[in-house]
Chains A and B, each alone.
Chain A
Amino acid sequence: MNLLFDGIAWVLDPANWTGVGSIPERIGQHLAISAVVLAIASLIALPIGGLVGHTGRGKELAVMVSGGLRALPTLGLLTLFALWLGIGLQAPIVALVILALPPLLAGAYSGLESVDRRTVDAARSVGMREIQIIGKVELPLGMPIVVGGIRSATLQIIATATLAAYIADDGLGRFIFAGLKTRDYAEMLGGSILVILLALAVDGLFAITQRLVVPAGVRVTRTRELRSRPARPRAVVGRPITEGNRE
């Protein structure tokens, strides 16, 4: 347990809170990198995921891509881009964006898809256009899951931004790598404690957001029915209309 006290003492040491490369500065860098990455990745993944979830097309491909990207080792990507783009922030940002895509994509499509197809068809039948259906029906109802995707992407980014310090002089990971080099366990542990606290704090904020985005009057229950057939129902003469995968 002495180790833990050393780490905490390092975090609380006022000397580490001022000057160049101080704790507040590193936290700021860490958050800034994470925010930039999240913004870029969201711009790419959310529209695509939303489209997949709305139309139900290209789902297999989306699943494959997000599954395949999961197998991609972060560190490998990071070092590869570092060799390519040189030491600095470009490499970690590109690598992090790629890693943030799968959860965002998965959240967006499963969010929109989780909306009961009967609700969507009802919206369609009262004359809503597709874009209105997405914006006014599917998005609000699927929002908790979409935010869930953003949440897990953000956590992954914050976690991996620690590794960014391996090739750039930025972020909280700096303390860990500096400590590794000088065998200063207190600094390594202190840096780790800060990263963990930051991740937990951000996760907590998202947990609250996830509750707040549930539209009033809607209870989020786990939907049992998922689309297994195309959204558009077709009327069949002589048979009752069945739609989706209702048993």
Chain B
Amino acid sequence: MTWLWSNLDLVGELTLTHLALSVPAIILSFVVSVPIGWLAHRYRWSRGVLLALCGLLYAIPSLALLIALPIVTGQRATSPINLVVALTLYGIAVIVRTAADAFDAVEPDVRQSATSLGYSSAGRFWGVELPLAGPVLLSGLRVVIVSTVSLATIGAVVGVQSLGSLFTDGLQRDIYAEIVTGIVATMLLAIGLDWAAVALGRLLMPWSRPNGSARRMALARVERVDAA
């Protein structure tokens, strides 16, 4: 505990750095995944191709990705931008399948009703499909938030500062408290962002106050995705 009190500044600073790495990655991966997920949902052929590609992406080990990425990005392996790109790719790999499922979950009847009311296909997407897919999208986003925050610590081994630096430094200097602080801070950050996402979801989707069974279905779908 004494370590924590005398190093509060450092922890606070690293927490902010960590946020600056993971939040852009989370937002980027969400923004990119929704259209990909919609494409995968829309056409039969694209579903197989897109989901397989994202599966492959997910299979690439994070540390290896971090080091191989500079070939494509031209950044140094140790640059924060490189880490954000790597985290974004992972986020996409995680969320695209859920996004496809989210659009699948919109009842065809509802879609037809919207069309018959005169919605154009773009209007239907923004006004009907996206809002109805929202709750499932949110459940995917929550998985991405947690995994991104915890994955961002890996950057520390190649020298990108984050809460992960507490691990590498703690190991070098034999300080248990530092490592434990890092773990707890990372988890708290993940939980905090997760809560923020849920709160934002409530705000943006007041109709989706999840009733038991719908929430369970969405949850189960996410787990299935996780397993598959």
Helix, strand, loop or mixed for chain B's interface? helix
**Cβ-based interface call for A226 (8 A):** yes
Within 8 Å CB of A63, what residues of B? 219, 223
A29 within 8 A of B: no
Count chain A CB atoms within 10 A of each CB in B64, B147, B219, B224 and give the residue with the most: B64
In A132-174, the 8 Å CB interface with B consists of: 145-146, 148-149, 152, 155, 158-160, 162-163, 166-167, 173
**Residue B25 at the chain A interface, CB threshold 8 Å:** no
Interface size on A, residues (CB 8 A): 61
Known: A73-B186, A162-B64, A176-B63. A226 touches B164 (CB 8 A): no
Question: Quick check: A74 and B150 within 8 Å, CB to CB?
Answer: yes
User: At the interface with chain A, which of B28-36, B37-45, B174-182?
Assistant: B174-182
Asked if A163 contacts B176 (CB within 8 A), the reply is: no
Out of A84, A106, A180, name the residue touching B227 (CB < 8 Å): A106
Interface of A is mostly: helix
Q: In the complex, what distance in Å separates the CA atom of A91 from the CA atom of B126?
A: 50
Q: How far is the CA of A88 from the CA of B187 in the complex (A)?
A: 26
Residues in B with CB closer than 8 Å to A160 are: 61
- For chain A residues 177-217, which have a beta carbon within 8 Å of chain B? 177, 180, 185, 188-189, 191-193, 195-196, 199-200, 203
A200 and B56 contact, Cβ closer than 8 Å, known pairs A80-B179, A145-B228, A192-B67: yes
> Among the listed B64, B174, B216, which residue makes an inter-chain contact with A192, where contact means beta carbons less than 8 Å apart?
B64
Whether B226 lies near A106 (C-beta < 8 A) is: yes
Given A75-B153, A82-B171: A152 and B63 interface contact (C-beta under 8 Å):
no
Within 8 A of A (CB), among B65-82: 65, 67-68, 70-71, 77
Question: In the complex the two chains form, is A110's CB within 8 Å of B154's CB?
Answer: no
A218 close to chain B: CB less than 8 A: no
Complex Cα distance A180/B68, Å? 13
Interface mask (B214-228 → A, CB under 8 Å = 1, otherwise 0): 001101100110111
Q: Is B59 an interface residue (CB 8 A)?
A: yes
Is A228 interfacial (CB-CB < 8 Å)? yes
**Interface residue ranges of A92-123 to B (CB < 8 Å):** 102-103, 106-107, 110-111, 113-114
The answer to whether A176 and B67 touch across the interface, beta carbons within 8 angstroms, is yes
Complex Cα gap A228–B214 (Å): 10
Nearest to A156 among chain B residues (CB) is B61
Task: Decide if B168 is an interface residue (CB 8 Å cutoff).
Answer: yes
What's the minimum C-beta distance from B216 to chain A, rounded to whole angstroms? 6
For residue A211, give the distance in angstroms from its CB to the closest CB of chain B. 13
- A166 and B157 form a contact (CB under 8 A): yes
Contact yes or no, A73 B59, CB < 8 A: no
Whole-angstrom CA separation of A180 from B223 in the bound complex:
36
**Chain B, interface residues (CB within 8 Å), range:** 35 or more
CA distance A155 to B94 in the complex (A): 14
Q: Does B128 contact A (CB under 8 A)?
A: no
- Are B224 and A83 in contact (CB-based, < 8 A)? no
CA distance A148 to B97 in the complex (A): 14
Bound form: Cα–Cα A103–B94 in Å: 13
Q: At the interface with chain B, which of A15-23, A36-44, A64-72?
A: A64-72
Report A222-247 residues with CB < 8 Å from chain B CB.
226, 228, 245
The reply to whether B68 and A149 form a contact with Cβ atoms under 8 Å apart is: no
Q: Known contacts A189-B67, A228-B212: does B224 contact A75 (CB below 8 Å)?
A: no
A163 and B157 contact, Cβ closer than 8 Å, known pairs A203-B59, A226-B216: yes
With A4-B71, A73-B163 already in contact, 20 other A-B pairs whose C-beta atoms are closer than 8 Å: A3-B70, A3-B71, A71-B150, A71-B186, A72-B150, A73-B167, A73-B186, A75-B168, A76-B164, A76-B182, A80-B176, A82-B171, A110-B227, A162-B64, A163-B63, A163-B157, A167-B171, A176-B63, A195-B64, A203-B55
- Cβ contacts A to B, 10 pairs, < 8 Å: A63-B219, A70-B143, A72-B183, A75-B154, A79-B170, A148-B228, A159-B61, A180-B157, A199-B64, A226-B217
Report, nearest first, the 9 A-B pairs whose CB atoms are least far apart.
A159-B61, A192-B64, A107-B227, A76-B183, A79-B171, A149-B227, A148-B228, A79-B167, A203-B59
